[in-house]
A and B are shown apart, each in its own frame.
Chain A
Amino acid sequence: EAQVTQNPRYLITVTGKKLTVTCSQNMNHEYMSWYRQDPGLGLRQIYYSMNVEVTDKGDVPEGYKVSRKEKRNFPLILESPSPNQTSLYFCASSPNDLSQPQHFGDGTRLSIL
């Protein structure tokens, strides 16, 4: 089954404690992206990657890092999380032709205390 898998689904943690949210896709997609969803703001793009070893900033990259060492994986790293990063996070993938739809994971709800 074609899917994008995020882990963990839920996490409560404290300010400053490094965390990583993993994202993996099994569709051999070149393109992967991370978004955060906040009430009234919709989805905002954090980082995206159009292929292995190629990453670019989206609209809200501050406080986040990503890496793309393999095609299937695109982890999101919060080196020193802060409460304003409390949000619902989505990973997505697609072929590199962005007229094609994104396939989304089920989301990760992060609470930073």
Chain B
Amino acid sequence: GDSVTQMEGPVTLSEEAFLTINCTYTATGYPSLFWYVQYPGEGLQLLLKATKADDKGSNKGFEATYRKETTSFHLEKGSVQVSDSAVYFCALSESGNTGKLIFGQGTTLQVKP
């Protein structure tokens, strides 16, 4: 079945450092891909998405590009802030609108001043 794999955390960075969180997936067809963020004590909220190959999703300085050839959707940000400290989840919705959503394990990001 479809699956999502994220890099292990936690990731600890200094403020203004460059961030990459790797995400790769296994899926048939053309799933939609998402990054969600979870702040402490809260539910998940959408950070960005891409629905077809070569699409780039972006929001709040974060970017991710849907790479069909490498089955990847890596999250990047050029300069992180302390307020970016959170858990980040990569996810896909199966093609064909089956109703199934699959999440990665989550990566905890801690940004230090």
Chain A residues with CB under 8 Å of chain B are 4, 31, 33, 35, 40-45, 48, 50, 56, 58-59, 90, 92, 96-99, 101-102, 104-107
Q: How far is the CA of A102 from the CA of B92 in the complex (A)?
A: 11
- B49-80 residues with Cβ-Cβ distance < 8 A to A are 49, 51
Which among A4, A42, A99, A101 is the interface contact of B106 at CB below 8 angstroms?
A42
Chain B residues with CB under 8 Å of chain A are 4, 6, 32, 34, 36, 41-46, 49, 51, 89, 91, 93-94, 97, 99-106
Q: Which residue of A lies closest to B8 (CB)?
A: A40
Listed A/B pairs (8) with beta-carbon separation below 8 Å: A43-B91, A48-B101, A59-B100, A92-B43, A99-B51, A102-B101, A104-B44, A107-B43
Cβ B43 vs Cβ A104 within 8 A: yes
- When distances are taken between beta carbons in the complex, the residues of chain B under 8 Å from A105 are 43
Q: How far is the CB of A21 from chain B (nearest CB, A)?
A: 14
Cβ A42 vs Cβ B105 within 8 A: yes
